[in-house]
Structure 1
């Protein structure tokens, strides 16, 4: 618990940015979108880490490494989303409770599932993140915030690549026999 007695900026407050020539109303819309993407990305990050920690089986090493890298990509993207929200005069979501509550989907529970089920959950979550990012690129462009639009465009490429790689892991061509997969 913080010992600071003076709150400098309340969660949900958006002032806009004089330096970036972004008024408070436009900034609020963009910060809300960025905070949704931040929440989604952090929930995805934690789910990827969970699967990274718990993966087993014949394809352990490759999946373990891939899931670790994908989680690193998500963590780096979350940092950029938070920094952009702050630059626009907003307060990025930071508490675990808020991140989970504001994510546009429910994370997987605490149980450990077979890797195919886990990866299917990840692919579904990636799909939701991708749809949200696409909507928010359009919002940023419509509001004249081309820098935020560009930030989202740059990262959607990596998000889509990671989702596509996960999709490949779910294909039926594998060295593991069908009986072992059931």
Structure 2
């Protein structure tokens, strides 16, 4: 890291934006977007962890699903961060900042069986969905229809992935377990 530093924009500040969104409204929307950005990164890292650690009879399908779901989260995080920047804000990005802004927590570093992992993912999805849903309404109420639309797209991805996670947790399976007597 360079010892010479030229600060261009301080984290937590909001500049005037070219989108003609009032400064006060922009600050509220940026705060909401940064909350969802942080939550999305928590989700991303947990999904990526499960992608790395999944085992068992459904390894290939679940490995692929966790990877695809993590990519969805990463893409959504990128879109949210770019919108924060367009509104004149600074997207949260440091690990400490992400942890401070996230309204959700990951399951931690321990590795769990795949069913527990998927249940933890579904719960995390549900919590992120609630946050994003609230922020769709906030952006709409503040007249930022583009942020509202962006968050609706993010919400649709989250709901689709949560629905798929729920399907993995169903009790109907072709994989036979050995009977214990």
Q: Which residue of 1 aligns with 2:155?
A: 156
Q: How large is the Cα RMSD of the aligned pairs?
A: 1.3
1:83-120 Cα shifts (integer Å, max 9, x gaps): 00000000000111211221111111111000000001
Rounded to whole Å, the distance in 2 between the matches of 1:179 and 1:3 is 61
Shift in Å, 1:179:
5.0
CA contact (8 A) 1:38 1:81 kept: yes
Matches within 5 A, 1:15-164: 15-17=15-17, 19-164=18-163
Shift in Å, 1:170:
0.3
Shift in Å, 1:15:
1.8
CA contact (8 A) 1:105 1:128 kept: yes
Say which SS state the counterpart of residue 12 (structure 1) adopts. coil
Shift in Å, 1:22:
1.0
CA contact (8 A) 1:133 1:152 kept: yes
Rounded to whole Å, the distance in 2 between the matches of 1:126 and 1:111 is 19
Q: Which moved more, 1:70-79 or 1:104-113?
A: 104-113
Shift in Å, 1:67:
0.5
Give the TM-score, by structure 2 length: 0.95
1:103-138 Cα shifts (integer Å, max 9, x gaps): 111111111000000001100000011111110000
What count of residue pairs does the alignment treat as equivalent? 179
Decide whether aligned partners of structure 1 residues 37 and 4 sit closer, same or farther in structure 2, where only a CA change above 3 A counts.
farther
Rounded to whole Å, the distance in 1 between the matches of 2:45 and 2:14 is 27
Shift in Å, 1:177:
3.0
Q: Which residue of 2 aligns with 1:8?
A: 8
Structure 2 stretches of 5 or more lacking a match? none
Structure 1 stretches of 5 or more lacking a match? none
Give the TM-score, by structure 1 length: 0.94
Could you list the structure 1 runs, at least 4 aligned residues long, displaced by more than 4 angstroms after superposition.
none
Rounded to whole Å, the distance in 1 between the matches of 2:33 and 2:21 is 15
Rounded to whole Å, the distance in 2 between the matches of 1:57 and 1:50 is 16
Shift in Å, 1:176:
2.4
Rounded to whole Å, the distance in 1 between the matches of 2:4 and 2:81 is 22
